[in-house]
């Protein structure tokens, strides 16, 4: 029950048992890439191009930043957790001038008047924000930020939707997102080997102006499908698995899939509270529909708790940074977002965690 990578469905696992030809040579691969892009566009609710890369989700995060930013560019980082605050460090490593609007790790983005004032005064080239903070079990509303981005003509809105895509509403075009980042191992329930991101026309203009060169560069993908010339040998097995993951979600119905995540998350939070355990997210925050963060009781350490869970066949996640050792996280996303599976996990938790 870790919050990604999650259990991979048999239909997706089985794809790795077959041989494919060279992704550099065979038209079948290009057809598959194009089909996968269309399926991802449906999940992202976008008409923008979707770039699909061979690598774990962090590849997309770095790819978007390094392809669009140069030293002294201004970046406004709106942060509520580990990844949100991490974006500022990433931007600084490129040499950017950063401004941070930070919140507590158990909060969601709020006080949009403050955000508007900062955008107006700082005039950033890029705004970064995480849609779903997996380490915290919280979610952020992106719509209001997108409205402000348009109002003040901010060139780029960069949104990490890695752990929210297909488990919550992501409206890329409606929310004015230029770079919306995703990965295969969360709600899509495929192996952790593919990263992808939407790229708006404005973002492509900037990418072409920057001309960043590197393994993670976006620029070669601008024409890769038209010329059938990718910047490296793509992972055909992983692409086929990603496409199957998209197909399974679309067959279920994206709205149905999202509703399933919300229902299971609500059930999980209610049962955790009924046990006498305390949820990490504040009452005023937006709780994540894909992961529930729970405070570790004072009478047991995370090391001991993890050991006891594993002895009973349950694996959950700890957390990172300042939250390390303070909370554990139940990942109810993708293949794990079913009530019977969550119920089994909760039964183990109830039998082990004793609340004073």
Kindly report, residue by residue over 112-147, the tens digit of the pLDDT: 999 999 999 999 999 999 999 999 999 999 999 999
pLDDT at 231: 97
pLDDT at 143: 98
Q: Where are the alpha helices (DSSP H) in the chain?
A: 10-13, 27-44, 58-68, 82-94, 112-122, 143-151, 201-210, 224-227, 236-252, 254-274, 302-311, 339-352
pLDDT at 321: 86
Q: Are residues 213 and 283 part of one domain?
A: no
Mean pLDDT taken over the chain? 97
In a domain, 218, yes or no: yes
pLDDT above 70 covers what percent of the chain?
99
In a domain, 263, yes or no: yes
Whether this prediction's pTM lies above 0.85 is answered by yes
Degrees, nearest 5: CA angle 324-328-334: 120
pLDDT at 25: 96
pLDDT digits over 31-73, tens only?
A: 999 999 999 999 999 999 999 999 999 999 999 999 999 999 9
* Residues sharing a CB contact under 8 Å with residue 122, sequence separation 6 or more, in sequence order: 74, 76, 99
CB count within 10 Å of CB 276 equals 12
The CATH number of the domain holding residue 342 is: 3.90.1150.10
In a domain, 244, yes or no: yes
The CATH number of the domain holding residue 244 is: 3.40.640.10
User: Which of 251, 275, 301 is the C-terminal boundary of a domain?
Assistant: 251
Degrees, nearest 5: CA angle 215-52-231: 35
Q: Distance between CA atoms of 182 and 194, rounded to whole angstroms?
A: 9
The answer to whether the CB of 163 falls within 8 A of the CB of 266 is no
In a domain, 2, yes or no: no
pLDDT digits over 274-291, tens only?
A: 999 999 999 999 999 999
User: Which of 213, 234, 251 is the C-terminal boundary of a domain?
Assistant: 251
pLDDT digits over 208-262, tens only?
A: 999 999 999 999 999 999 999 999 999 999 999 999 999 999 999 999 999 999 9
pLDDT band at 320 (very low <50, low <70, confident <90, very high): confident
Q: Distance between CA atoms of 329 and 291, rounded to whole angstroms?
A: 6
* Residues sharing a CB contact under 8 Å with residue 53, sequence separation 6 or more, in sequence order: 59, 60, 63, 194, 195, 196, 216, 221
Pairing, β 138-139 against β 132-133:
antiparallel
Range of the domain at 332: 254-352
Mean pLDDT of the 4-17 span: 96
pLDDT band at 355 (very low <50, low <70, confident <90, very high): low
In a domain, 68, yes or no: yes
In a domain, 306, yes or no: yes
Position 327 pLDDT exceeds 80 = yes
223 against 356, higher pLDDT = 223
Please give the tally of structural domains in the chain.
Answer: 2
Q: Are residues 198 and 143 part of one domain?
A: yes
User: Which of 251, 286, 304 is the C-terminal boundary of a domain?
Assistant: 251
In a domain, 4, yes or no: no
Tell the residue number behind the tokens 């679309």, with chain if given: 250
In a domain, 3, yes or no: no
Position 356 pLDDT exceeds 50 = no
The long-range contacts involving 263-271, CB below 8 angstroms and separated by at least 24 positions, are 263/339, 264/289, 264/332, 264/337, 264/338, 264/339, 264/342, 265/289, 265/290, 265/292, 265/332, 265/337, 267/339, 267/342, 268/292, 268/330, 268/332, 268/342, 268/346, 271/346
pLDDT at 140: 98
pLDDT digits over 151-187, tens only?
A: 999 999 999 999 999 999 999 999 999 999 999 999 9
């Amino acid at each position: 029950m870790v919050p990604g990578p999650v259990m991979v469905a048999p239909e997706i696992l089985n794809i790795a048992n077959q041989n494919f030809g060279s992704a550099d040579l065979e038209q079948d691969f290009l057809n598959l890439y194009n089909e996968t892009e269309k399926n991802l566009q449906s999940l992202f609710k976008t008409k923008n191009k979707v770039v699909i890369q061979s690598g774990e989700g962090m590849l997309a995060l770095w790819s978007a930043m390094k392809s669009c930013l140069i030293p002294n560019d201004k970046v406004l980082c709106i942060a509520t957790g580990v990844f949100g605050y991490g974006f500022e460090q990433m931007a600084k490593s490129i040499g950017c001038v950063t401004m941070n609007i930070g919140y507590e790790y158990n909060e969601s983005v709020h006080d949009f008047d403050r955000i508007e004032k900062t955008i107006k005064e700082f005039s950033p080239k890029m705004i970064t924000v995480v849609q779903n903070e997996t380490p915290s079990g919280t979610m952020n509303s992106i719509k209001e930020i997108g409205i402000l981005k348009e109002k003040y003509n901010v060139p780029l809105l960069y949104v990490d939707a890695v752990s929210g895509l297909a488990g919550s509403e992501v409206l890329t075009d409606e929310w004015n997102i230029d770079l919306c980042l995703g990965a295969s191992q969360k709600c899509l329930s495929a192996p952790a080997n593919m990263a992808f991101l939407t790229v708006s026309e404005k973002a492509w203009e900037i990418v072409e102006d920057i001309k960043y060169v590197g393994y993670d560069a976006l620029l070669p993908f601008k024409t890769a499908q038209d010329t059938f010339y990718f910047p490296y040998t793509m992972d055909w097995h992983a692409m086929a698995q990603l496409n199957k993951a998209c197909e399974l979600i679309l067959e279920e119905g994206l709205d149905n899939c999202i509703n399933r995540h919300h229902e299971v998350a609500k059930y999980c939070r209610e049962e955790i509270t009924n046990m006498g355990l305390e949820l990490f997210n504040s009452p005023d925050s937006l709780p994540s529909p894909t992961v529930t963060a729970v405070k570790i009781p004072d009478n047991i350490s995370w090391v001991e708790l993890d050991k006891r869970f594993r002895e009973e066949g349950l694996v959950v996640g700890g957390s990172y940074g300042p939250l390390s050792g303070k909370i554990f996280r139940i990942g109810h996303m993708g293949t794990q977002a079913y009530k019977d599976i969550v119920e089994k996990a909760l039964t183990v938790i109830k039998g082990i965690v004793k609340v004073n």
